Structure 1
């Protein structure tokens, strides 16, 4: 065991004074950054000009954390409680939280001509799914460019469409908020009814889902497609994520439509075309975006369970979605297939999957599942709501989806604090876990194997 000695502190102080750098792990920096940003957001939302009637400190903190972690859950109605200034603060927090401190810090360091430490290079390469620092630089710059280009196009489309029936400034404000919220997979809306009123509007529904897909598929995938523009030349990861996204979207669309078509509280009153649009939005938004075209609390239990699975899976790595990620889910399925059919190793697209990747996926699955279990257990002690609503709330928070069965506004202070922690863990936890796994040291000692009964 390594004991503390005054010389260690003196050495650290001299090193910091000489180099100007503090050796702090990137996950700690990210956590501190998001926490500070959330506290700043809370302070701004508590100012008199941010609300029409004032909110509690806990409600302001809840809204700020939800925006920073691009979740979308709120205990108050954004459209009626917050003023245009307060709404601008929220969407600003969404934008900063969506881009992420990894991207912003890497881009800023490169722009200033500073060298990125080996520790930060390892994290950036792992997060960006790349093997060289030069590629990390390209993707860091590409993320900024892709984000603003897509958001500007989305904002322009929504503004022009809403301008037909509302004054231009109102349409512009609504377009900016909705466009940024959709692309960042935040699910926040300044409309009291979310986009239920636009359930039959193809421009709003298709525009929203396209932004959600682009934001949730992953920047490395978009960057690879922009560069290669040829299916065969794309990285195996890119092809797997695209195929997995298509499969999940098509399966979810068909199942949700099938299970809700006769539900008088959701799809039954709609025309066939509107049912298709509603089913498509609910499929896409469940992958951590948080918008809804029908009342979530009125969905059948079978649909609710399916949506929880989709929230749990989430989107692509290095995206604006959370969950365990599509890549993780596919790796786990490939590993299970390899074991069941007694293959020597799991493969995807004729490429072998490393043991480290499988272990990383298993660790992420186990940690996320345990967090959901214990959080659900705690919330059942705090709340008297139906179990399925509590479980849905927990999965939605930790996957930063933002959907709710009307439970969020009625949560007790203890449950609100629990949800705040879940949103934080959902946004930062997987990245911290990946870093800890990628930074672990290989031991030189090997122990004899033993048989251990499982299954």
Structure 2
């Protein structure tokens, strides 16, 4: 009876948590369960420590891709399957699968479940959430199956049917979910000049990073005038963040002997395309990231911070956030009191949310970099690259992650987790809503 009472008390406390807190608890539970499964002897064959298994599970559920072990060599087939499932759960959202299963067996999703689902999908309202879940799973299944089928034409001839098919399936799942995990120790570098790999993998993480709201809008509307403001901003922002970095990467690295230098012109264009897109939280690489020039490294870090779209498998502060920041800056210098884009205006609360998200993100990055730098004596830029990659849930690495001590790796895990659940989730969890009882006269401060 006492045990039942303890369980009921614990369950009651969990139920009374706010939706953001429940979402955080859900993710932490899955990460811990995944770490235990990856630590089992049946899942690994290299004597991986529990801490390394926990780091890998955190990286998988947060769809980051940073690794401290060899994914293809240190995990068995069962371990790799578990890792793929963790990537799938983390990329599409844990509540998405829970709601889908409950709906499939005829269990009605209550208000509490819809609130958590809204937080998990980063939505502002609860309308059409179940429809969005069905669309999300359908798009994911179609894209991953189609991507795996095409990738099999490359991997099967090289590795045989069983290994080639599994290689194709795993990389399709990892690519669509913007995870960046690869069964090859050098990521996709052996296929730097393969057009199928460069096009299919990039197409998968572009589709996954656009966001399911955008994909649904494109499918249902199919006319530019009828598209929502969010979709238009995402499409324009994504196009700019694809073309401009592609040109800049090629220009900066064209003669670099450590990256593009030894390649043919066609391979240089392919590699530049891939490396310009992958920082927006995909995490794969076809070139040696550590060999890039410092200017290219800084550009890559900026792209990692921006990330992909809302309600997508990508991380970062999101493309729409970056666009709104630019629009707010332009409006300030033009002395406008409202933000306009595509014949629509943006409300002040949206701008305030963007500013809050940006400030919290900067604070997380600065504090994490400070903590990790306490015990790491390597190059500062290399360390900053790892921290930014963790926050953006990208997975690109310049080699510093494997050299970090326990404190450094623990910090990276926390940063990956915060990058996945979102800085605003942490803010809403800590914030309290209050109504001002006293109004004060307006004051003036001097800025700039």
TM-score by length of 1: 0.91
Deviation at 1:446, TM superposition (A): 4.0
Tell me whether 1:264 sits opposite 2:264 in the alignment: no
1:129-162 Cα deviation digits (max 9, x unpaired): 46552x2221121111111111111111111332
* Structure-1 separation of matches of 2:440 and 2:132: 41
Distance 1:445 1:318, change over 3 A: farther
CA RMSD across the alignment: 2.3
| Equivalent residue, structure 1, for 2:374 | 381
Specify the alignment match of 1:306 in structure 2: 299
Distance of 1:223 and 1:74 partners within structure 2: 33
- Cα distance between partner residues in 1 of 2:194 and 2:332: 47
1:207 match: 200
Q: 1:65 aligns with which of 58, 63, 79?
A: 58
Deviation at 1:166, TM superposition (A): 2.2
CA distance, structure 1, for counterparts of residue 51 and residue 429 of structure 2 = 32
Larger CA deviation: 234-243 vs 35-44: 35-44
Are residues 247 and 434 of structure 1, via their aligned partners in 2, closer, same or farther at CA, if it must alter by over 3 Å?
farther
CA distance in 1, matches of 2:438, 2:85: 50
Aligned to 1:116, which of 110, 123, 134? 110
SS in 2 for 1:216: helix
> C-alpha offsets along residues 326-346 of structure 1, whole Å, 9 cap, x if unaligned?
011111111111111101211
Unaligned runs of 5+ in 1: 1-12
On the 8 A contact 1:27/1:431 being kept in 2, the answer is no
SS in 1 for 2:252: helix
2:74 maps to 81
Residues 1:356 and 2:349 are matched in the alignment = yes
Does the 8 Å CA contact 1:394/1:419 hold for their aligned counterparts?
Answer: yes
- Report the more deviating stretch, 153-162 or 414-423: 153-162
Counterpart in 1 of 2:278? 285
* Alpha-carbon distance in 2 for matches of 1:362, 1:108: 37
What is the 5 A alignment of 1:41-190? Answer: 41-111=34-104, 112-117=106-111, 120-121=114-115, 124=118, 127=121, 129=123, 131=125, 133=127, 135-190=128-183
Q: Deviations over 1:243-270 (max 9, x none)?
A: 1000011011000110000101100100
Distance in 2 separating the partners of 1:445 and 1:104: 46
Q: Distance in 2 between matches of 1:254 and 1:451?
A: 45
Shift in Å, 1:172: 0.7
SS in 2 for 1:347: strand
Distance in 2 between residues matched to 1:186 and 1:446, nearest whole Å: 48
Give unmatched runs, 5+ long, in structure 2.
1-7
Q: Does 1:233 align with 2:223?
A: no
Contact between 1:106 and 1:116, CA under 8 Å: does it hold in 2? no
Whole-angstrom distance in 2 between the partners of 1:49 and 1:121: 38
- Residue 92 of structure 1 and its aligned partner are, at CA, apart by 1.1
Match of 1:165, SS state, is helix
| Whole-angstrom CA distance in 1 between matches of 2:92 and 2:113 | 21
- Structure 2 distance, partners of 1:145, 1:263, is 42
Contact 2:19 2:112 in 1 (8 A): no
- Please state if 1:432 is matched with 2:425: yes
Pairing 1:447–2:440 present:
yes
Decide whether the 8 Å contact of 1:109 with 1:116 is kept in 2: no
Q: Does 1:27 align with 2:20?
A: yes
Q: Does structure 2 retain, via aligned residues, the 8 Å contact 1:376–1:390?
A: yes
Q: State the shift of 1:104 in Å.
A: 2.7
Instruction: Identify the residue that residue 414 of structure 1 maps to in structure 2.
Output: 407
Deviation at 1:118, TM superposition (A): 6.6
Aligned partner of residue 15 in structure 2, secondary structure: coil
Kept in 2, the 8 Å contact 1:332–1:361? The answer is yes
State the alpha-carbon separation in 2 of the partners of residues 253 and 231 from structure 1.
26
Measured after TM superposition, the shift of residue 443 of structure 1 is 4.6
Instruction: Measure the CA separation in 1 of the matches of 2:362 and 2:206.
Output: 25
How many corresponding residue pairs?
440
Report how far residue 102 of structure 1 moved: 3.4
**Aligned partners of 2:153 and 2:19: how far apart in 1?**
42
State how far apart, in whole Å, the 1-side matches of 2:99 and 2:84 are: 23
